[in-house]
Amino acid sequence: MTVEHGETSSAQPLIPLHCLRHAEPGPPRLTALPNGTPVWLATRHADVRQVLTDPRLDRATLFAPDAPPTSTGPNLLDDPEGLLNIDGPEHQRLRRTVQRAFTPRAIARWRPWVETVIEELIDDLEAAGSPVDVVAGLTRSLPIAVISRLMDLDGVDLQRLGHWSDHALSTSAYPAEQVRQAMREFYAFSEQLIADRRKNPGDDLVSSLLLAAAETEGVTEGQLTAMVCGLVVAGHETTMTSFGNALVQLLSEAPEAWARIAVDLADATAASEQILRAIPLSDATALPGLLRRAVADLEIGGVAIAAGSVVAADIRTANHDPEVYPAIGPLDHFAPLGTPSLTFGAGPHHCLGAWLARMELELGLHRLANRLPGLRLAGPLEEISWREGLLTRSPASLLVAW
Amino acid sequence: MSAAGQELVVRVDRTRCVGTGACTWTAPEDLELGPDGRARPLRPVSDDRPGLTEAAEMCPVEAITVLSAASGEVVAPL
Ligand code: HEM
Ligand code: SF4
């Protein structure tokens, strides 16, 4: 069977992500990664926050020669020159080359434009007629259109970008050699793009990254190449995942919430925050959480953890910690969150694209519900085909009707 | 000592702060990460306008506000 876009057909229908059960949070406990490497798992909100913010835990030493193996197979997140895998002052310097473009204010300037893109995509959905695949038409197209515009990827073959992105986050969807091949092509594309923008700078994200990097000490070509690939992938995959999974939840069990999201943008904003908190981006099968390594002996939630240990921050469980988010019945989309969720992480590696993702999700949900208030799933949940074998899971396609 | 009217007060919204530590690198005299992984001011008033402005503008969750000590006016982020 050829498997494209990480699609596979399981014998057993997979459970939608909003229906997954969450473990009871408790003190850090020793468990193992799928490859057998021992890992301390933090699950309580406060412990997870500590794992992500405490300078005695880092990312870079996960790739040190003495580190136990933690990789899920070749993928982009394991590049030691990637922003995610650099720590301390070097990370601060590299992150500053892109941070300014992603502050809440900088992102807010894109709002009117993003809204037009959404309206156009919904025009096309309507023109295609009911039923239609909302993944191809909106949840995948929107993030691609947005990141392509930010990075000025006009004229780039978006199919190829999508192909590379899928491979970049593969765990088991593709054979290792195929992933390596895709990564080689992706990096070559990135190097070429960097060379082009150095020659002809514009007002896009890649050009401003290069400009800032030129004024920053110690930024390497490898870091820039990995950054460009990282932005393409992050821009593509994660927002599509949360948007798709949000629609599965809203359209299958929350018609009242859908009606409110349609009318009031503030309600759409609140609902997006709750959805981002409550619906995880993946099954915990490949990785139990965000990985770190202890660079010194420390204590987390009363448990002693030795230097050199691998620690996983389980944000999905922490996002359901009853100490912080009292679980009263079904998801209340409009309850104020109080404490920020850990969906975008915390600490130095807190998600660069958090505000961009939030804006795409809230505007996308608001406009779609407003234009198509009677939207419903065209088929049963059990028949959804999922993108599998990747670090994230979301519908490969989702037929909706009105 | 800085001239009166130039003195600044920095506030951190500790519910919003996600503990990136970015501000503590930019304005080390004025901000540090507390044991709870959230930023906190180090002194009641400051004269490091460039550092604090930069810290407020670059905070990824806009948790930092810089005010004029004299007038209470917001200096950054604008
Ligand atoms: C719903 C959508 C998204 C979610 C849930 C999400 C989640 C996350 C999380 C949890 C981390 C931290 C990982 C760790 O600490 O180990 C992260 C980092 C990152 N994200 Fe996102 N993300 C999303 C969208 C985006 C978008 C749209 C972009 C960019 C255009 C982006 C770019 C990044 C980058 C560059 C990092 C690494 C930051 C660093 O190491 O300093 N993300 N994201
Ligand atoms: S930059 Fe903002 S989020 Fe980061 S530590 Fe400072 S106040 Fe907190």
Higher pLDDT, A115 or A12: A115
How many whole angstroms separate alpha carbon B69 and alpha carbon A357? Answer: 36
**Structure tokens, A179:** 């992933």
Range of the structural domain that residue B52 is part of: 7-71
The pLDDT value recorded for residue A22 is 84
Three-state SS across chain A?
A: CCCCCCECCCCCCCCCHHHCCCCCCCCCEEEECCCCCEEEEECCHHHHHHHHHCCCEECHHHHCCCCCCCCCCCCHHHCCCCHHHCCHHHHHHHHHHHHHHHCHHHHHCCHHHHHHHHHHHHHHHHHHCCCEEHHHHHHCHHHHHHHHHHCCCCCCCHHHHHHHHHHHCECCCCCHHHHHHHHHHHHHHHHHHHHHHHHCCCCCHHHHHHHHHHCCCCCCHHHHHHHHHHHHHHHHHHHHHHHHHHHHHHHHHCHHHHHHHHHCHHHHHHHHHHHHHHCCCCCCCCCCCEEEEECCCEEECCEEECCCCEEEECHHHHCCCCCCCCCCCCCCCCCCCCCCCCCCCCHHHCCCCHHHHHHHHHHHHHHHHHHCCCCEECCCHHHCEEECCECCCCEEECEEEC
Residues of B within 8 A of A103 (CB-CB) are: 57-60, 62
- Judged against a pLDDT cut of 50, whether residue A3 lies above it is answered with no
Sketch the domain layout of chain A as residue ranges: 3-401
Pairs of residues, one from chain A and one from chain B, whose beta carbons lie less than 8 Å apart: 62
Tell me: the pLDDT tens digits for A130-184?
999 999 999 999 999 999 999 999 888 888 888 888 888 778 788 888 889 999 9
Tell me: the pLDDT tens digits for A277-328?
999 998 887 889 999 999 999 999 999 999 999 999 999 999 999 999 987 6
Tell me: the pLDDT tens digits for B21-38?
999 999 999 999 998 899
A3-401, which class in CATH? Answer: mainly alpha
Residues of A within 8 A of B59 (CB-CB) are: 103
Measured between CB atoms, does B34 come within 8 Å of chain A?
Answer: no
> In ligand 1, which atom is closest to the CA atom of A98?
35
pLDDT bin (cut points 50, 70, 90) of residue A74 is confident
Is residue B76, in this structure, part of any structural domain at all?
no
Is residue B78, in this structure, part of any structural domain at all?
no
The pLDDT value recorded for residue A328 is 66
Is residue B77, in this structure, part of any structural domain at all?
no
Residue in B37, B57, B58 closest to A49 by CB:
B37
The pLDDT value recorded for residue A377 is 96
Helix (H, G, I), strand (E, B), or coil: what is residue B60?
Answer: coil
pTM: predicted TM-score of the whole model, two decimal places: 0.94
- Judged against a pLDDT cut of 80, whether residue A9 lies above it is answered with no
- Judged against a pLDDT cut of 80, whether residue A1 lies above it is answered with no
How many whole angstroms separate alpha carbon A327 and alpha carbon A274? Answer: 12
Tell me: the pLDDT tens digits for A220-259?
999 999 999 999 988 888 999 999 999 999 999 999 999 9
Kind and range of the H or E element at B68? strand B64-68
- Judged against a pLDDT cut of 80, whether residue A12 lies above it is answered with no
What number is the average pLDDT over the span A56-65? 95
Domain CATH for B48: 3.30.70.20
pLDDT bin (cut points 50, 70, 90) of residue A264 is very high
- Judged against a pLDDT cut of 70, whether residue A11 lies above it is answered with no
Quick one: DSSP state of residue B46? B
* Counted domains in chain B: 1
CA–centroid distance, residue A254 to ligand 1 (Å): 28
Angle at A239 between CA A363 and CA A21, to 5 degrees: 105
Q: Which ligand is nearest to the CA of A316?
A: 1
Tell me: the pLDDT tens digits for B34-67?
988 999 999 999 999 999 999 999 999 999 999 9
